Amino acid sequence: MRHFITTDDWSRDDLQAILDLASRMKADPLGSNALAGKSMALLFFNPSLRTRTSFELGIHQLGGKAITLNAGQDSWPMAFAEGAEMLGDEEEHVIEAAQVLSRYVDLIGIRAFPKFQDWSLDRQDRVIRAFAKYGSVPIVNMETITHPCQELALMQTLQERKGDMQGKKFVLTWTYHPKPLNTAVANSAVMIATKFGMDVTLLCPNEDYLLDERYMKAAEANAAAEGGSFTVSHDIEAAYDGADVVYAKSWGAIPYFGNWQAEKPIRDQYRHFIVDAEKMSRTNDGLFSHCLPLRRNVKATDEVMDAPYCAAIDEAENRLHVQKALLATLMEGNRP
Ligand code: CP
């Protein structure tokens, strides 16, 4: 069974094939019936604007049926711990839920963010891993501790705007946010940019904001395999100099996971990591992008968001096209 939980499980060639199919689908949005007679459950443990809309619409355009469930609201609260004595609020276990949904639908999408209390638990990604373990249909990651669909949309956008990205300088910059946010998009950004051979700089305030070693190591391995590089910088000007792409994201520092009151005064010192036009002027006519949602004038200024070099809206649109291509690929690849 082939799932789409992390791009680490997929080769560059396989991902490029999805991107190429996405471009063809973008040119002819109603030209494929790849999901005719098929259905997909979209299970959300967290809010969404883009992911829900683009999956529901994409499945419709492919001739399929989407069933969206907001876990704990219009489906039962669910337990995940193996061997749990279920005396709390949870009414059913993922063991049954995953099997039952698999009897109904052909694909299952999962959005399940970290709980933000204990990274050693969150890094197990146990919600989506449990659906993969107990379900019997392909599982699609709609954002957990990585966001691989966002990775595909980012790559489609970069290739549309700048062509082959091999050897291009890609900067992932940490930005301020008043709350600690998920590292998923940051993990994903370094993995996909290195997978496609870019020279990747992770710009962050200090060592506390490094990503989990799993993703740092994956980025290093990708860079070695694909002819790019992966470096860390705490020097804003040096990182922006000559960049072809600036990608912004905020995230909470992992050493302070679950202890956010202690992190906040540290994070508050780094509001100057905001992406602004002066920083962008150091780039090589660089693109700016972000996964959205984005707090204007906190993560990036109005001037950056409204500039022609901002590709965030293109990237959001491309979620639709890459996900359609992904679902068609998964149905084809998992055909009995
Ligand atoms: N980028 C993204 O996943 O957006 P939503 O959280 O609105 O789905």
The amino acid present at 281, given as its one-letter code, is: S
- By most ligand atoms within 8 Å of CB, the mutation choice from 319, 322, 323 for ligand 1 is 319
163 burial type by CB count under 10 A (0-12 exposed, 13-18 middle, 19+ buried) = exposed
54 pLDDT more than 90: yes
CA distance 225 to 170: 17
69 pLDDT more than 80: yes
CA distance 13 to 20: 10
The amino acid present at 81, given as its one-letter code, is: A
Fold classified for 7-146+319-333: Rossmann fold (3.40.50)
What's the confidence (pLDDT) of residue 72? 83
What's the confidence (pLDDT) of residue 74? 83
Beta carbons within 8 Å of 274's beta carbon, 6+ residues apart: 175, 176, 297, 298, 299, 300, 301
pLDDT single digits (tens) 185-221? 999 999 999 999 999 999 999 999 999 999 999 999 9
**Distance of alpha carbon 137 from the chain centroid:** 21
Does the beta carbon of 201 sit less than 6 angstroms from any atom of ligand 1? no
Does the beta carbon of 233 sit less than 6 angstroms from any atom of ligand 1? no
What's the whole-model pTM score? 0.97
Does the beta carbon of 175 sit less than 6 angstroms from any atom of ligand 1? no
Return residue ranges of the chain for CATH 3.40.50.1370: 7-146+319-333, 149-315
Centre of ligand 1 to C-alpha 310, Å, is 17
Confidence of residue 73 (pLDDT cuts 50, 70, 90): confident
- Rounded to an integer, the average pLDDT of 80-90 is 94
pLDDT single digits (tens) 218-259? 999 999 999 999 999 999 999 999 999 999 999 999 999 999
Does the beta carbon of 323 sit less than 6 angstroms from any atom of ligand 1? no
Radius of gyration of the chain from its Cα atoms, rounded to whole angstroms: 20
What's the confidence (pLDDT) of residue 93? 97
Question: How much of the chain exceeds pLDDT 90, in percent?
Answer: 97
Confidence of residue 336 (pLDDT cuts 50, 70, 90): low
Does the beta carbon of 146 sit less than 6 angstroms from any atom of ligand 1? no
pLDDT single digits (tens) 288-306? 999 999 999 999 999 999 9
For ligand 1, atom 4, which residue shows the shortest CA distance?
50
CA distance 129 to 185: 18
133 pLDDT more than 80: yes
CATH code for the domain defined by 149-315 = 3.40.50.1370
160 pLDDT more than 70: yes
What is the average pLDDT value for the chain, to the nearest integer?
Answer: 97
Does the beta carbon of 184 sit less than 6 angstroms from any atom of ligand 1? no
